[in-house]
């Protein structure tokens, strides 16, 4: 092993090279260092990646003030104490703090303290176990003794709509970095990003129009989730239009919003309005357009051709996160972790993969035993049917595992239990006029939970218990003994069991020999 204190300029050989220093890449590197390896991490932008500066952290920070204000107004006594409206300038300042004001020096200090060598620049594969790094016009080659891990994440997709690119629309980056609120905002898309930003900008004072190509918001979740979020958006003054999108866009003089990846301070509202021609023939004039129609892996300039793969492709992997070649066989030295592998585009899921990948890389490098059985230490089994997720809209949406439609498609023997969260005693003291819904998907053959979805104020805090039940395959007869505190929203678990019936309380009899 090489000396971890060696400077980046003097050392070009490491046990592991990680391309991409977002939270996923950082975790791969950290786990490998803890396993005894030397690691270099290559980053062309800010250490901490999309989540820290343009996604998870700043978006949730900018959503939080409106959530807190809404919650206070739903509680008599607290409601009367609220004498003003949302302070937009303070909300932006709170956002800036969550994004460390787009300064990654603290992250760089952490890498150094963890014994990880930082190499600034754009990294691409050069050949087997080699990474070429370009920085400030100079190129340097790093070589790995054991493995290279790609954790370059994903980028927003901008649809090929005539005039859209010329109008310089916002993606999540420009939208979260702006410190001005567009008077009129069109959002293209109906998924998580579109729903969260619609909630955010409606609360900040924009006249928001959401253009959803499909039948409703949050189409991959239980139908009632999108319905309740759309209802709340309408109540906040947003216009959610389904079954339509833009067919053409024009903006006189082009836009002034920053291009993707540029300085966040350059993301400003355009002085020139944009006109969208919609697929139903109508037109819509707005000040800014936010594109939230999906993401694709950031693999365009990664040198994939040097290992027999195609530019821009998703890097499919086995469950130990090794990249699969065109024949479906794992490339023994190459790993892909996080959004770039398309398994589950969520930061917490990418970090889960990173823990498995960093550990297994170290084990393979040191000749240890790989635990690659389902739910083993070196696999990402939960990516398949046990992915927890929260949509931080108003109301919140929290989900884990299968939806009813997915279970039916898989031909599982299931029972669907729906429960009105407003009927839970804890909801009446949590907020006046509480509105929400819960759904549980039960495997009737095995007597375990396959999935759960909650919609309502503060339901994100219900999710970890559901995740534990799904991942742990906790038998229903044992869940009867998991007593919810009263009066809390968690009482919905007891109500679910009661809806299933008393028979679920009886443990199965042991088979007789």
pLDDT in tens, the chain (513 residues): 333 434 455 579 999 999 999 999 999 999 999 999 999 999 999 999 999 999 999 999 999 999 999 999 999 999 999 999 999 999 999 999 999 999 999 999 999 999 999 999 999 999 999 999 999 999 999 999 999 999 999 999 999 999 999 999 999 999 999 999 999 999 999 999 999 999 999 999 999 999 999 999 999 999 999 999 999 999 999 999 999 999 999 998 765 444 334 444 455 555 699 999 999 999 999 999 999 999 999 999 999 999 999 999 999 999 999 999 999 999 999 999 999 999 999 999 999 999 999 999 999 999 999 999 999 999 999 999 999 999 999 999 999 999 999 999 999 999 999 999 999 999 999 999 999 999 999 999 999 999 999 999 999 999 999 999 999 999 999 999 999 999 999 999 999 999 999 888 788 765 555
> Residues 37, 16: contact at Cβ < 8 Å?
yes
> Residues 187, 198: contact at Cβ < 8 Å?
yes
Cα dihedral 346/350/351/357 (nearest 10): 170
Q: What is the DSSP string of 387-442?
A: --EEE-SSSEEEEEE--HHHHHHTT--EEEEEEEGGGSHHHHHHSTT---EEEEEE
The domain made up of 395-501 has a fold known as Enolase-like; domain 1 (3.30.390)
411: tokens are: 């031909």
Which residues, listed in sequence order, are joined to residue 397 by a DSSP beta bridge?
Answer: 391, 455
The ranges assigned to domains in the chain are: 13-52+99-155+297-382, 55-98, 158-293, 395-501
Q: How far apart are CA 296 and CA 19, in angstroms?
A: 17
Which residues define the annotated binding site for FAD?
A: 60, 123, 152-154, 339
458: tokens are: 């503060």
Q: In Å, how far from its chain's centre is CA 467?
A: 16
Which residues define the annotated binding site for NAD(+)?
A: 189-196, 294
The domain made up of 13-52+99-155+297-382 has a fold known as FAD/NAD(P)-binding domain (3.50.50)
Architecture of the domain spanning 158-293: 3-Layer(bba) Sandwich (3.50)
Q: How far apart are CA 429 and CA 443, in angstroms?
A: 33
Q: Is 105 exposed, middle or buried (0-12, 13-18, 19+ CB in 10 A)?
A: exposed
Which residues define the annotated binding site?
A: 60, 123, 152-154, 189-196, 294, 339
Task: Tell me if the bond preceding 395 is cis, omega within 30° of 0.
Answer: yes
3-state DSSP assignment of residue 277: strand
Q: How far apart are CA 216 and CA 241, in angstroms?
A: 8
Is 13-52+99-155+297-382's fold the same as 395-501's?
A: no
Q: What is the 3-state secondary structure (H, E, C) of 142-194?
A: EEEEEEEEECCCEEECCCCCCCCHHHCCECHHHHHHCCCCCCEEEEECCCHHH
Which residues, listed in sequence order, are joined to residue 453 by a DSSP beta bridge?
Answer: 399, 439
Predicted TM-score (pTM) of the model is 0.93
């Amino acid at each position: 092993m090489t000396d971890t204190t060696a400077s980046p300029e003097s050392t070009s050989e490491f046990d592991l090279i990680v391309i991409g220093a977002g939270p996923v890449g950082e975790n791969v590197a950290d786990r490998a260092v803890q396993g005894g390896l030397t690691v270099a991490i290559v980053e062309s932008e800010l250490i901490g990646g999309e989540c820290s500066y343009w996604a998870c952290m700043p978006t949730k920070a900018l959503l939080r003030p409106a959530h807190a204000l809404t919650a206070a107004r739903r509680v008599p006594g607290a409601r009367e104490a609220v004498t003003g409206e949302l302070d937009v300038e303070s909300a932006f300042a709170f956002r800036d703090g969550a994004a460390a004001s787009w300064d990654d020096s603290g992250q760089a200090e952490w890498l150094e303290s963890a014994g990880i060598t930082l190499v600034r620049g754009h990294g691409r594969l050069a050949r087997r176990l080699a990474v070429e790094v370009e920085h400030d016009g100079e190129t340097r080659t790093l070589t790995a003794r054991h493995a290279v891990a790609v954790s370059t994440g994903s980028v927003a997709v901008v649809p090929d709509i005539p005039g859209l690119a010329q109008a310089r629309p916002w993606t999540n980056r420009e939208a979260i970095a702006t410190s001005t609120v567009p008077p009129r905002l069109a959002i293209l898309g109906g998924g998580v990003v579109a729903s969260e930003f619609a909630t955010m900008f409606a609360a900040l004072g924009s006249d928001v129009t959401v253009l959803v190509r499909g039948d409703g918001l949050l189409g991959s979740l239980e139908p009632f989730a999108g319905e309740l979020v759309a209802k709340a958006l309408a109540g906040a003054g947003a216009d959610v239009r389904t079954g339509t999108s833009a067919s053409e866009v024009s903006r006189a003089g082009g836009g002034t919003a920053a291009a993707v990846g540029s300085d966040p301070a350059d993301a400003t509202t355009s002085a020139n309005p944009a006109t969208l021609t919609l697929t139903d023939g109508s037109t819509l004039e707005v000040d800014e357009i936010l594109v939230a129609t999906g993401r694709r892996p950031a693999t365009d300039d990664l040198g994939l051709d040097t290992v027999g793969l195609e530019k821009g492709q998703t890097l499919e992997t086995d469950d130990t996160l090794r990249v699969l070649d065109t024949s479906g066989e794992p490339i023994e030295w190459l790993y892909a972790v996080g959004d770039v592998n398309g398994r589950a585009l969520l930061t917490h899921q990418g970090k889960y993969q990173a823990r498995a990948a960093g550990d297994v890389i170290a084990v393979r490098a040191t000749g240890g035993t790989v635990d690659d059985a389902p739910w083993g230490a070196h696999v990402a089994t939960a990516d398949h049917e046990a992915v927890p997720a929260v949509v931080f809209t108003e109301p919140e949406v929290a989900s884990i595992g299968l939806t009813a439609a997915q279970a039916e498609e898989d031909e599982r023997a299931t029972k669907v239990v729906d429960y009105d969260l407003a009927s839970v005693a804890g909801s009446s003291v949590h907020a006046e006029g509480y509105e929400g819904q819960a759904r549980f998907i039960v495997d009737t053959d095995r007597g375990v939970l396959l999935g759960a979805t909650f919609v309502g104020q503060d339901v994100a805090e219900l999710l970890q218990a559901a995740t534990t039940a799904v991942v742990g395959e906790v038998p229903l007869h044992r869940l009867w003994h998991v007593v919810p505190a009263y009066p809390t929203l968690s009482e919905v678990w007891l109500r679910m069991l009661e809806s299933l019936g008393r028979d679920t309380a009886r443990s199965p009899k042991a088979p007789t020999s």
